[in-house]
Amino acid sequence: AAAPLRVLVDMDGVLADFEGALLRAFACRFPGEPRVELAQRRGFSVREQYHGLRRDLAEKVASIYESPGFFLGLDTIPGAIEAMREMMLMPDTQVFICTSPLRKYEHCVLEKYKWVEKHLGPEFVERIILTRDKTVVSADLLFDDKDSIRGLGSFGIAFRESGRERAANCSFPLLLSPGAEPNPSWEHILFTCCHNKHIELEPPRRRLLSWADDWRAIVESKRRK
């Protein structure tokens, strides 16, 4: 019998539409401010791109995703729910939702759990892995829209921002590490999202263009022959 395959599926950008909701809420709350349309998004961190547009917009955009109700209100990514249900029923396949909470975890953590229960059901709540470092989780596959999966967060912004943030980072040297596990067991499949579609992957790295793309073939490619 084949060994069971373990698949990690990221949440924001893969199951839940973080970018769409963020842009809509930003435009609604700050109608007079410049914004980054989805076609113009580059780089994983929305905060960093808004900071580049005008320094004070970083705080404004962050205030949107840190607001109560933001994570719970995210729409589903097309095809995601159906794909998760189907994957969950595949023989010899273990499916987990692997998601990182914001550093400001107050609303985000609870709302991620509620979102999973609302859209996928309680059996998937059992399968949530909440971690700021996905490199320590062992699996065969990780579907994630973040182009480089590191450990504890993304740091570009911290260096370019206030001394306070820089100081905060310095007191946690681990924040600067690339992830506690230098050789993660999973193969990262980049899930295409507005902010990563221009990135050219180094072979043999692979993408899933959407849930309409052949995720089943990617899953099957990892099974021991």
Residues with a known catalytic role: 10, 12
Residue with Cβ nearer ligand T3P (5 or 158):
158
Query: Rounded CA gap, 34 and 53, in Å?
Result: 8
Check if the beta carbon of residue 63 is closer than 8 Å to that of residue 28.
Answer: no
5 vs 61, beta carbon nearer ligand T3P: 61
Q: Which of 30, 32, 128, 123 is nearest to 71 (CA)?
A: 128
Question: What tokens does 137 get?
Answer: 């989780």
DSSP code, position 188: E
At residue 6, the 3 state secondary structure works out as strand
| Least distance from ligand T3P to the Cβ atom of residue 224, Å | 28
CB of 215 within 8 A of CB of 206?
A: no
Q: Three-state SS for 89? A: helix
In the complex, least distance from residue 121 CB atom to ligand T3P, rounded to whole angstroms: 18
Contact predicate 158/22, CB 8 Å: no
Which stretches of 30-126 are DSSP H helices? 46-53, 57-65, 80-89, 108-119, 122-125
- Residue 10 Cβ, how far from ligand T3P at the closest point, in Å? 5
First-last CA distance in the chain: 10
Name which of 128 and 218 has its Cβ closer to ligand T3P. 128
Task: Report in angstroms how near the CB of residue 223 gets to ligand T3P at its nearest.
Answer: 26
- Specify the residue, 44 or 215, whose C-beta has the smaller distance to ligand T3P: 44
Q: How far is the CB of 47 from ligand T3P (least distance, A)?
A: 5
- Interface residues toward ligand T3P, by CB under 6 A: 10-13, 18, 44-47, 99-102
Between 5 and 62, name the residue whose CB sits nearer to ligand T3P. 62
